[in-house]
Amino acid sequence: MGATIRGKHLKSGTAIPQPVTGDTTRAMKTIHQITLALAWVLSTLAGAPLVQAQSTPEVRIDAGMLEGIRERDMQVFRGIPYARPPVGDLRWQPPLPVAAWEGTRKATAFGPACMQGPRPGIGETSEDCLTLNVFTPADARPGANLPVMVWVHGGGFTGGSGAGFDGAAFTRDGVILVTFNYRLGLFGIFAHPELEPLDNAQPWANYAVLDMVEVLKWVQHNISEFGGNPGRVTIFGESAGAMGVHLLMTTPSAKNLFHGAIAQSGYGTWPLPRAERASKLPGSPTAEQQTLAAISTIAPGRQLKRQDLKALPAALLANAVSGFLLPVVDGVIIEDEPGIVFAQGRQHKVPYITGANGFDGVVLRGSGVDAKAYWESWSEKADEIRKLYASDFAQSEEQGIARLFGDQRYGYAGHWTADQMSRAGIPTWLYYYDYLPAAQRSELPGAPHGGELAGIFDVPNIGDEQRAMGATIRGYWINFARTGNPNYLGGDGAPWPVFDADDQWMVFRDGAKAQSGVLKDKLALIGQWYLARIGLKR
């Protein structure tokens, strides 16, 4: 039977946080608060009520029958398990296919979020969290061959959830949206020398990425029953979700599972910890050190064996990491840092959109990166940086350092990966998002990290201008999902040139406008650091 889906909505009265007036330091604190809210606002509302429920659509997938719900011109199927619960002996193991069930399973409520530290509004958490949600147009039926977009949520690989991202803005334009949970924190990234391999295979470390791959396999096997086209799947994500996109584009296990990719503020050129068995890169910490340091916070002085690790309470593990957590180069799932794989031409050859926000660096405070040590690492280039970022340093040291951090971590990654895709002859489009609602323009120095999400997902309680900007970007995204090209077939919207040697970006600020050489001098400086670090000459 047909499947029509729509996700949860923001509760009436839920407001996007607005900045307060004050001096630069106060504004920076506010920026940090806004960033955290925007990065997770759509993933922390799993308790929102259903509206306008009308009937009970059903669909048969590999594991059995599902009963969803029809609401707001959508069919919604929530909390669908895509893998067995990764608990007990399955903790720190690759996801296994879900067991089939008898009868009809209700799919009307989101599953619990994956284990994580306290997050406002995140709701119930559990190790048993590997579920996904499917949102389809009301009239979607098997064989409809609708384009499918799979959203990878952000949250620094330590927080967030697929719940709360409403599919309505996508389904009303004939797109199926899939959101999902993946293991977070030490449950999702764990390189410990005591873990034994499964079936004599090499030890794993990046369970979060394996979960993402498993979702894409599930989509290939089942999405046609919801009216989706398994040959027209686009992955997209923001922040850690965009890093997930970078990782999916470079892990061999995801080959042929998707056909387009959008990375919003990803960080595929950022240094990653490397497992001892993986190739070495100067200046990179070891993955085992990252894991052991986190474990030492909850079991100081103890030499934990495999069964000790398996027996650790989930709540302790969930709070063992402060700040963000980086995926690790394990030599198996992640063969190398995405930026290096892109440079080698070994990434999956699918059409690609990427970009960054004007003030992505607002996340510096919550990232776990020490700002003082970070600035000291640039000491040899300090004078040059101060000239390039003069207007930011004129406001405060903190703003200048944060802007540099954002451009290095996110802006450079977008430009680098776009350039490598272009060199490989793959259609690629690059953007720079620097739109701010009018009320925030006197308070924020640029669009904060995650600032595009409210508009793209068309959340309530945003202004008409922000809603229009979100609709513009979403229009490009949806056309890309349909055709592999973001430009509107009907000719509407500003033309978005393919990225090439002319260094063309689409700038989202006052509308949408193509522009060459955005951040050119700043990225050239950052590029000197990156090329030296990876030992590549250009």
Active site residues: 239
Q: Where are the alpha helices (DSSP H) in 302-441?
A: 306-311, 314-318, 338-343, 371-376, 382-388, 390-395, 397-406, 412-423
CB contact at 8 A, 45 and 14: yes
Listed in order, strand segments (DSSP E) in 280-334 are none
CA atoms of 291 and 303, how far apart (whole Å): 13
Tell me which residue of 142, 21, 131, 26 sits closest to 81, measured CA to CA: 131
Classified as helix, coil or strand, 428 is strand
For the chain, the 3-state helix, strand and coil shares in percent, each to the nearest 5, are 35, 15, 45
145's tokens: 């061959």
Q: What is the dihedral of CA 284, 290, 292, 296, to 10 degrees?
A: 130
Q: How far apart are CA 399 and CA 421, in angstroms?
A: 32
Q: Could you give the CA distance from residue 390 to residue 373 in angstroms, rounded to a whole number?
A: 21
Q: Is the C-alpha dihedral spanning 103, 109, 114, 118 positive or negative?
A: negative
Cβ–Cβ under 8 Å, residues 392 and 478: no
- State the DSSP code for 274: B
Residue 283 and residue 382: Cα distance in Å, rounded?
20
- Backbone φ and ψ for 212, nearest 5 degrees, come out as -60, -45
Q: What is the CA radius of gyration of the chain?
A: 22
Q: Name the pairing type of β-strands 504-509 and 511-516.
A: antiparallel
The Cα-based distances of 318 to 224, 315, 439, 534 in angstroms read 36, 5, 37, 33
Q: Which residues of 213-230 are buried (b: 16+ CB within 10 A; e: fewer)?
A: bbbbbbbbebbbbbbbbb
Tell me how far apart the alpha carbons of residues 450 and 10 are, in angstroms, rounded to a whole number: 17
CA distance 136 to 149: 11
On whether the CB atoms of residues 188 and 327 are closer than 8 A, the answer is no
Closest CA to 516 of 494, 500, 492: 500
